[in-house]
Amino acid sequence: MAVVGIIPFFTFALGTWQMKRLKWKIDLIDELDEKLQLPPLKFPSKINLSVIPEFVFRKVLLKGRWDHAHTMIFSPRVREGVHGVHVITPLVRENGSTILVDRGFVSKENLELLAQNQPEGEVEVLGMIRTSQPRNRFTPDNEPEKGIWYWTDVDAMAQYAGGDEADVQPVYVEQIFEGHAGEAATLLDKGAPIGRAPTVDLRNSHLSYVITWYSLSALTAVMFGRVLMRRKRSPGKKMPRFG
Ligand SMILES: *[C@@H]1O[C@H](CO)[C@@H](O)[C@H](O)[C@H]1NC(C)=O
Ligand SMILES: *[C@@H]1O[C@H](CO)[C@@H](O)[C@H](O)[C@H]1NC(C)=O
């Protein structure tokens, strides 16, 4: 009986804990969103890797030439219900180290057109700074030697693009696309990569946990109350069994 009586309090405590986590997550997203609103940075010619974590989600303006020979294709990726891939190409910066740029989405259908979308010469790229993405337990291993990539492993990607000897730094930028839907459709038809929207896309599932734990708490409290009432009304009867 005592154990059953504890459940409503226990689940309530879990709900309150998730509430704290929710507030923490909202604050974090706000903070990153503010970073994203700041004017774009310019990287120095050699980037100090130890300060990169501070600058995640900052916009950055890059100038350089694409190294198409080391393009990496990440699949499967989905954009607005369309199946396709992401195209990551090293950018050889003018007077600076080479870094990795996720140029964005190309549909599976138009992937063979990608070869026609390999701009030569100098390009200017607006992007946002990111880091390796945590893989989940279902993500397969990357197979660089076969050109098969599933998840963003910045160190391995920099190595693939030539590593230290080729002055490639493990820095990862996602190209930003701020055009309207019509422009996106044109790019999609041409098989040209579409960058990402400049938004903070962190998962925030704490609200659903808050609701779940508080609902469970209320439900078990009502059940426990009923059991107590029934016991009061018929003190001679045996307690109902749980489970
Ligand atoms: C990189 O940044 C860290 C932290 O600001 C600093 O301690 C370190 O000296 C820097 N390294 C170089 C090579 O500038
Ligand atoms: C790169 O170096 C060249 C020659 O030294 C210079 O003219 C040019 O302005 C530099 N570019 C940048 C982005 O610093």
pLDDT at position 240: 60
pLDDT tens for residues 78-98?
998 999 999 999 999 988 999
- Ligand 2 and 95: CB distance under 6 A: yes
Average pLDDT by stretches of 10, the chain with 243 residues: 83 92 90 91 95 94 95 91 94 94 94 87 95 83 87 93 95 95 92 91 84 92 87 66 56
Q: Which residue(s) pair with 93 in the sheet?
A: 64
pLDDT tens for residues 123-163?
999 999 999 887 888 888 998 888 889 999 999 999 999 99
pLDDT at position 241: 62
pLDDT at position 128: 96
Q: Which atom of ligand 2 is nearest to the CA of 95?
A: 1
- Ligand 1 and 229: CB distance under 6 A: no
pLDDT at position 223: 87
pLDDT at position 122: 95
Q: Mutation test of ligand 2: which of 95, 122, 124, 125 has the most ligand atoms closer than 8 Å to its C-beta?
A: 95
Interhelix angle for 206-233 vs 2-37, to 10°? 160
Q: With CA atoms as reference, report the closest residue to 72 among 189, 171, 135, 154.
A: 154
Residue nearest to atom 12 of ligand 1 (CA): 48
- Ligand 1 and 50: CB distance under 6 A: yes
> pTM for the whole thing?
0.80
For residue 86, give Cα distances in angstroms to 100, 106, 185.
Answer: 13, 6, 16
- Ligand 1 and 234: CB distance under 6 A: no
pLDDT at position 206: 86
